[in-house]
Amino acid sequence: MPDGSAQALSHPVVLVDGDDPTLVSEQVSVLVADLVGSGDRTLALEDARGDEVDLAAVADSCATPPFLSDRRIVVVRDVGRFSTEEVAPLLAYLEDPLSTTVLILAAGGGGVAPKLAAAVKARGHVISTKVASRDTREWVRGRLRQAPVRFDAPAEALLENHLGEDVGRLGSLLEVLVAAYGEGARLGSEQIEPYLGEAGSVAPWDFTDSIDAGRTEEALVRLHRLLGGGERHPLVVLAILHRHVQSLLRVDSPAIRTEAQAAEAMGIAKGRSTYPAKKALAASNRWGSAGIAEAVSWVALAELDLKGKSVWPEEAVLEVLVARLCRLARAGGGVASGRRRGG
């Protein structure tokens, strides 16, 4: 389940932060349920929804003691749509908030007004629903361990791979599986496959890792996941490939032999992880100078095709480019690179 509300109980205002609307909404629901407890939800909760939300009225509600309830809970959704001027009533209320009211601000609609964000940090609590790309697998595993149904190891691996970065889909998928099989059911891959839907997006580096390894089929699958579940525009995917090939080009020098030298060539600031430089240097060694030069040419030609030179569909242009890059990676021009790096 999303993070609970133990700390939120003692604060007059809580910001549920995040960039996935589903995860934000789930966290708000959990928070409200924890705060209401065994009380009457209709008496305790005021949920300000819709396009026309009067924040002055919201502030008045916050400043009103609860009626036939121990606590008043006021929710404002998509709080990022309000400007600094519009949140002025909330700022005024938070100068002297009631101990019997919890104001829940749900992220969405843009960035939270700086003064409101500062007021929350000063007087309240922030719950983040953001899941970093590197943490998605562990996050999914944690949610699966708490799910009302159980999964065998292959099913768990299938879910992790299928969802990719689209972890916000997991909650609704679990609800469907519970409805279909009942709480406590133990499920395998065959039971969950019919309910998975379209594969979620993948991290860009997983995509480029497949290319560096020369695994064409895997790279094409991840390309389609970026375009489909990831909803990335073809030019955005091309930009991922352009940056990747450029990183190989930057470290393709006889003078660059160490991870630190590669990081400097790639412009990685001191104190930041040099792991991307390590990967680029290893890939550059495998591709070789000739392979990298050809890759730069193919990426440039694909850009022209995507911008109108070719009548091919955009997806087909990218498929051909990915296949060509995988072929270059497998060919591994590396005689020259082996000589220059002592290989």
How does 110-128 read in b/e, with b if 16+ C-beta sit within 10 Å? Answer: eebbeebbebbeeebbbbe
Res. 240: pLDDT tops 80: yes
Give the integer Cα–Cα distance in Å for 121 and 34. Answer: 21
Predicted local confidence at residue 9, as pLDDT: 65
Res. 333: pLDDT tops 70: no
Q: What is the mean pLDDT of residues 266-284?
A: 86
Banded model confidence at residue 227, pLDDT cuts 50, 70, 90: confident
Predicted local confidence at residue 7, as pLDDT: 61
Predicted local confidence at residue 5, as pLDDT: 52
pLDDT digits (tens, 9 = 90+) for 139-173: 888 888 888 899 999 988 888 888 887 888 888 78
Predicted local confidence at residue 340, as pLDDT: 41
Cβ atoms of 89 and 61 within 8 Å: the answer is no
Which of 64, 65, 109, 66 shows the shortest CA–CA distance to 87?
109
Cβ atoms of 166 and 201 within 8 Å: the answer is yes
Give the integer Cα–Cα distance in Å for 296 and 274. Answer: 23
Q: What is the mean pLDDT of residues 23-48?
A: 85
Q: How does the average pLDDT of the chain come out, rounded? A: 85
Predicted local confidence at residue 229, as pLDDT: 74
- With H, G, I as helix, E, B as strand and everything else as coil, classify residue 187: strand
Banded model confidence at residue 221, pLDDT cuts 50, 70, 90: confident
More confident residue, 336 or 318: 318
Predicted local confidence at residue 226, as pLDDT: 87
Banded model confidence at residue 91, pLDDT cuts 50, 70, 90: very high
Predicted local confidence at residue 341, as pLDDT: 41
Res. 118: pLDDT tops 50: yes
Which of 270, 327, 263 shows the shortest CA–CA distance to 298?
327
More confident residue, 66 or 296: 296
- With H, G, I as helix, E, B as strand and everything else as coil, classify residue 260: helix
Cβ atoms of 105 and 79 within 8 Å: the answer is yes
Q: Which amino acid is at 274?
A: T
Q: What is the mean pLDDT of residues 177-193?
A: 85
pLDDT digits (tens, 9 = 90+) for 209-220: 999 999 998 899
Domains of the chain, first to last: 11-128 (3.40.50.300), 133-195 (1.10.8.60), 204-340 (1.20.272.10)
Q: Token digits for 134?
A: 């590197």
Predicted local confidence at residue 336, as pLDDT: 39
> Does the pTM of the predicted model rise above 0.85?
no
Q: Token digits for 156?
A: 């768990």
Predicted local confidence at residue 299, as pLDDT: 93
Predicted local confidence at residue 115, as pLDDT: 92
Q: What is the mean pLDDT of residues 87-103?
A: 92
Banded model confidence at residue 15, pLDDT cuts 50, 70, 90: very high
For residue 254, how many other CB atoms are within 10 A of its CB?
11
Which of 115, 175, 180 shows the shortest CA–CA distance to 147?
175
CA 241 to chain CA mean position, Å: 20
* Rounded CA Rg of the chain: 25
Banded model confidence at residue 342, pLDDT cuts 50, 70, 90: very low
Residue 14's DSSP bridge partners are 104, 125
Predicted local confidence at residue 335, as pLDDT: 39
Q: What is the mean pLDDT of residues 273-280?
A: 87
Phi-psi label, residue 68: left if phi above 0, alpha if psi -120 to 50, beta otherwise: left
Q: Token digits for 149?
A: 């149904």
Q: Token digits for 39?
A: 């009380």
Q: Token digits for 9?
A: 């109980």
Cβ atoms of 266 and 250 within 8 Å: the answer is yes
Res. 38: pLDDT tops 90: no
Res. 241: pLDDT tops 90: yes
